[in-house]
Amino acid sequence: MLDDAAFGAATPVKPKAISPTDPAARFTGANGDRPFFAYSTNYLVDLDNAIIVDVEATVPIRQAEVGAVRNMLTRTRDRFDLHPERLAADTAYGTAEMLGWLVDDQEIEPHIPVFDKSERKDGAYPATDFAYDEDADEYRCPGGRALKPYWRDISKGRPEFGKDGCKKYYARKQDCAACALKPHCTPNQATRKISRSRYEHARQKAREIAKTDAYVASEYARKKVEMLFAHLKRILGLDRLRLRGPNGAKDEFHIAATVQNLRKLAKLRPSVA
Ligand code: SF4
């Protein structure tokens, strides 16, 4: 289990600190509190009634938590034939791969903010200011010039996408050199470059959904999930695990989720006259 993607194999990064009493737990300061060794409980929640449909224990690392959502969606479909039309989640779940998997493989609408690392910190035009032309497979910059993957025919034998899953588009050096917009576009490089994910269509879909009223409703409904976690700590007192190791975390998280569901179901039961 320690080699599981939810635990020891969640990331190749060597932990800076290892707990002497529970080596599988991971040190985290994620909630802005004093750092401590922890596991994460991940819920798949039916937002209509705030019922927990599935639960999975992981280490508190984004890759492991994203993997847990995939596992829970697959398991829920296999076991209960439940397949959501949409998934509401926070930015941590808005990676290109996750959005691609949801849109292409699962046909689930991502009501998730896009995780975007392309934001420029130097105030230069963001990638969204460049218009993509699908037929020509090129971008147009704010100065009206083209950005292409190759300006000479040197593409033979090169993979279309890099190891990061992105295709790169380059402006021509002479276009940028003669451009009055250069200080606002590529102040420190000779040419401007744009990266396009192989899942850009799914990212774009998520961006469009984010402008809809349905997305606002999903954002609001997601507060029910936050309430469940707050309830877990403050009312059920699960701010500390009693059992050690991944199996201990798994058992405690399952029991806690069951208790939360029973309380909820008791309230949902129609009152007898
Ligand atoms: S600097 Fe280059 S990419 Fe940027 S607007 Fe000018 S020509 Fe276009």
The boundaries of the domain holding residue 148 are: 127-198
For residue 34, the model assigns a pLDDT of 81
CA of 150 to the centre of ligand 1 (A): 16
176 lines ligand 1 (CB under 6 A): yes
Q: How far apart are alpha carbons 85 and 110 in whole angstroms?
A: 9
250 lines ligand 1 (CB under 6 A): no
66 lines ligand 1 (CB under 6 A): no
Q: Which residue from 90, 53, 62, 43 is spatially nearest to 5, judged by alpha carbons?
A: 62
Strands (E), 112-263: 131-133, 138-140, 146-148, 166-171, 193-197
Instruction: Pick the atom of ligand 1 nearest to 125's CA.
Output: 4
181 lines ligand 1 (CB under 6 A): yes
**Structural domain ending residue among the three candidates 198, 231, 259:** 198
The answer to whether residues 131 and 182 belong to one domain is: yes
Q: Does residue 4 belong to any structural domain of this protein?
A: no
One digit per residue, pLDDT tens: the chain, 273 residues? 666 766 766 677 777 788 888 888 888 876 667 888 899 999 999 999 899 999 999 999 888 999 999 999 999 999 999 999 999 999 999 999 999 999 999 999 999 999 887 777 777 899 989 999 999 999 999 999 999 998 876 666 677 888 888 999 999 999 999 999 999 999 989 999 999 999 999 999 999 999 999 999 999 999 999 999 999 988 888 988 999 989 999 999 999 999 999 999 998 877 665
Instruction: Pick the atom of ligand 1 nearest to 142's CA.
Output: 5
| Mutate-to-test residue for ligand 1 from 168, 192, 193, highest number of ligand atoms within 8 A of CB | 192
Element (H, E) at 53: strand 51-58
Domain tally for the chain? 2
The answer to whether residues 194 and 131 belong to one domain is: yes
Q: Does residue 137 belong to any structural domain of this protein?
A: yes
Q: Does residue 17 belong to any structural domain of this protein?
A: no
For residue 10, the model assigns a pLDDT of 65
The answer to whether residues 134 and 186 belong to one domain is: yes
Q: How far apart are alpha carbons 60 and 6 in whole angstroms?
A: 9
* Cβ-based neighbour number of residue 235 at 10 Å: 11
Q: How far apart are alpha carbons 201 and 132 in whole angstroms?
A: 11
Q: How far apart are alpha carbons 6 and 68 in whole angstroms?
A: 7
For residue 13, the model assigns a pLDDT of 74
Q: Please give the order of strands across the beta sheet that includes 138-140.
A: 131-133, 138-140, 146-148, 166-171, 193-197
For residue 9, the model assigns a pLDDT of 65
Q: Does residue 52 belong to any structural domain of this protein?
A: yes
Instruction: Pick the atom of ligand 1 nearest to 144's CA.
Output: 8
For residue 146, the model assigns a pLDDT of 96
